[in-house]
Amino acid sequence: MLMQPMKSHQTVSRRGVVQGLGGLILAVALPGTAHAQSGAAQVLKGDGGAVAAIAPNAFVRIASDDIVTVLVKHIEFGQGPWTGLATLVAEELDADWSQMRAEHAPANSDLYKNFAFGMQGTGGSTAIANSFEQMRTVGATARAMLLTAAASAWNVPVGELTVDRGTIRHASSKREGRFGQFAEAAAKLPVPAKVPLKDPSAFTLIGRDDGSVKKLDSAAKSNGTAQFTIDIREPDMLTVVVARPPRFGGKVASLDAKEALAQPGVVDVKQISSGVAVYAQGTYQAMQGRSRLKITWDDSAAEKRSSDQLIEEYRALARKPGLVARQHGNVEAALKLADKALEAEYVFPYLAHAPMEPLDGFLRWDGNTAVARFGSQLQTGDHHAIAKVLGLPPERVQVETMLAGGSFGRRAQATMHLAVELAEAAKAIGPNRPMKLVWTREDDIHGGYYRPLFVHRLRGGIRDGRITAWSNTLVGQSFLRGSPFEKMIKDGIDATSVEGSKEIPYQVADFRCDLHTTDVSIPTLWWRSVGHTHTGYAVECFIDELLEATGQDPVSGRLALMDKAPRAAGVLRAVADLAGWKGPGPTNGRARGVAVVESFNTYVAQIAEVSDGGREGPRVHKVWCAVDCGIAVNPDVIRAQMEGGIGYGLGHVLFAEVSLDEGRPVQSNFDGYRSLRIHEMPEVEVRIVQSGEKPTGVGEPGVPPIGPAVANAMARLGLQRPRRLPIVRAVS
């Protein structure tokens, strides 16, 4: 997702201690003071921002049975925030890892805002960065209160107490106790105004890499007990599927629901703004009912262009100068003076996120209050959207965040369209009909909100064996335009379109990056690593091509241009070392390609070893990866995210495309929208570069380098760097 992390300046402005459920529970509430900092937040908080305070307004609960539960404000859909935030609390609390648990915090934008957004939400790989100090402060505060309670119970000076792995000790009197026995007394104490945080050199859980800090959700996710939205079952619950227009922007012209309503189990059919909702007793009956609807669609306002047509239009635009995102020197003059000028065009298709669990949501509404449960990624926005549709004040709407089967950006909707559809479906049939809205895979792949189609045109100049000019013209849609996040567009430039192209880690004397933002009514959205999904490929392929043209090595040639990018250079050196880099090859039919991309303040370099698989496309055998994400909170989660990012990135670069035929998406399920499978997954080796910098995210940054690393290896195999993705289309 987008949204650059902003500074998280937090002080403890309000504290509360509440007695919670089931006995002795200490809850410490530590809301930050960061105010709405982004345009998005201002818009979303425009209607007063009064959000219900939902007890127990807390980040941590310590129960009499010693269990420490961290309430995690970021949604867990695989990137590890439950484990990460619990690690931060446990570190300062000096808890034992085995006593730690995590659950989702309720929706509450004051208490649980993401400091990077100014409202509650997850994305932009911000979870650890934004919670690093906050959750440590929570842990340290709870620790201080437990110690005070223990000191007074034992009648000893608090300064003589120590805590180790969940046990409080007073050495000279040989007394010891567990957190649980002091939780009740601690809950009655005033909250200390200021608590010291550990010096990083004293960390025992943060950065621990001996396998003892296991993820908190692995067991439930290995035995089928983890509860996702699609698993919600309630008495009298209806299941809803929606027939949506086959073309984006289409509207229902006429509807005949007779046959659908005659289907067994179908309860009702209603028109809502996104299409026609079918309500049934079960999922299959709802799908069967939907297939019997007779709808004629009015496509007069719909988008009817095909992908090929859009690409031709974009290519023509790329020949004209766009709005300048950044420039220095005089690139046109430098290109004229060059001994050699290179030009390359790269075409990136629309991509669906296709999270394993398609979109879904549960809503119960009695006309007066509502409870929504789903994998909400922007809780504040979803909360307000539901309240608005149902005509309720936000404090009468509760949003509970569920585990979600992946997102990759899909659940963070600028338009909150899922929350709106859910609430509209409820409203259309009337109160007291609890319902679960389910999207099928076809709904998902046809559903839009794609990574936008982009065309890049790059021109580079070489003079005296040096790269002297770099020009990058981008053409594509902005998903911020027309959304509540529109204020983030500055001087006509959507930063998420040009991130990664506007600033490159290489020093080139004459530089320009310009942008054409197109008007196409295909809904688009941030997709795992956002602009870097295309800029990383274009920039890293083109620099490699220029280095090849000047006879330079891909690693040392890059490094020679990276004086002003020390951390990017650091990961490049690290990955070259890890892979035992001796040049790109090919050796024994295998070549190696390199790429390095910074995204979300995390630096990742990858080397891919590739052979030519003929019509099957390139075969990627092994990927070496070095990452610098500041202080490594959970090294194994970082490795997992690099592995997953590489697999996700590779699958899309190789196989994935949503193409449009006169505006209609052609692919509809995993047969056409091909996903990476286990036999296509390379071996992966990850090195985490030691760093004392503040931690940054890892959910997205593993994605961008893999595509260009593979393309650059292909070039060394005598194949071309694929100019149009996906690669397998280019090869066949």
Partner 1 sequence: MTFQLSVNGRSHAVDVDPSTPLLWVLRDTIGLTGTKFGCGIAQCGACTVFLDGKPLRSCALPVSAVGSQSVITIEGLSGREAEAVQRAWVARDVPQCGYCQSGQVMSAVALLTEVKKPSDRDIDLAMTGNICRCATYVRIRAAIHDAAKSLEG
CA–CA gap between residue 543 and residue 67 (Å, rounded): 53
Return the SS3 of 628.
Answer: strand
430 binds, among partner 1, ligand FES, none (CB under 5 to 8 A by kind): none
* C-beta closer to ligand FES: residue 77 or 454: 77
3-state helix, strand, coil in the chain (%, to 5): 30, 25, 45
404 binds, among ligand FES, partner 1, none (CB under 5 to 8 A by kind): partner 1
CA–CA gap between residue 422 and residue 426 (Å, rounded): 6
Contact 347, 385 (CB under 8 A): no
Give yes or no for residue 224 binding partner 1 (CB under 8 A): yes
* C-beta closer to ligand FES: residue 77 or 182: 77
One-letter amino acid at 250 equals G
223 binds, among partner 1, ligand FES, none (CB under 5 to 8 A by kind): partner 1
Contact 179, 95 (CB under 8 A): yes
Give yes or no for residue 646 binding partner 1 (CB under 8 A): yes
Helix ranges (DSSP H) in 479-522: 495-498
Give yes or no for residue 611 binding partner 1 (CB under 8 A): no
CA–CA gap between residue 660 and residue 666 (Å, rounded): 6
* C-beta closer to ligand FES: residue 644 or 695: 644
Which helix (H) or strand (E) element contains residue 240? strand 238-243
277: left (phi over 0), alpha (psi -120 to 50) or beta: beta
Q: What angle do CA 386, 410, 231 make, to 5 degrees?
A: 70
Give yes or no for residue 226 binding partner 1 (CB under 8 A): yes
Distances in Å between the Cα of 539 and the Cα atoms of 7, 473, 498, 566, 596 are 28, 11, 11, 18, 10
Give yes or no for residue 669 binding partner 1 (CB under 8 A): yes
Give yes or no for residue 356 binding partner 1 (CB under 8 A): yes
537 binds, among partner 1, ligand FES, none (CB under 5 to 8 A by kind): none
* C-beta closer to ligand FES: residue 515 or 686: 686
* C-beta closer to ligand FES: residue 401 or 517: 401
Give yes or no for residue 651 binding ligand FES (CB under 6 A): no
**φ and ψ of 128, to 5 deg:** -70, -40
Please tell me the count of residues contacting ligand FES according to CB under 6 A. Answer: 3
C-alpha dihedral, 214 to 218 to 223 to 228, nearest 10°: 150
* C-beta closer to ligand FES: residue 406 or 651: 406
Among 38, 57, 79, 108, binds partner 1 (CB under 8 A): 79
Give yes or no for residue 550 binding partner 1 (CB under 8 A): no
Give yes or no for residue 681 binding ligand FES (CB under 6 A): no
**Can you state the angle between helices 81-93 and 127-154, rounded to 10 degrees?**
30
726 binds, among ligand FES, partner 1, none (CB under 5 to 8 A by kind): none
Which helix (H) or strand (E) element contains residue 620? strand 618-628
Tokens at residue 106, please? 């309720």
Contact 484, 381 (CB under 8 A): yes
Give yes or no for residue 682 binding ligand FES (CB under 6 A): no
Among 640, 709, 714, 727, binds partner 1 (CB under 8 A): 640
DSSP state of 45: T
CA–CA gap between residue 361 and residue 311 (Å, rounded): 35
678-707: contacts with partner 1 (CB under 8 A): 678-679, 681, 683-684
313-372: contacts with ligand FES (CB under 6 A): 356
189 binds, among ligand FES, partner 1, none (CB under 5 to 8 A by kind): none
Give yes or no for residue 636 binding partner 1 (CB under 8 A): yes
Footprint of ligand FES (CB under 6 A)? 78, 356, 406
Footprint of partner 1 (CB under 8 A)? 77-80, 214-215, 217-228, 230-231, 233, 239, 264-265, 282-285, 288, 354-358, 403-408, 440-441, 636-637, 640, 643-648, 650-651, 669-671, 675-679, 681, 683-684
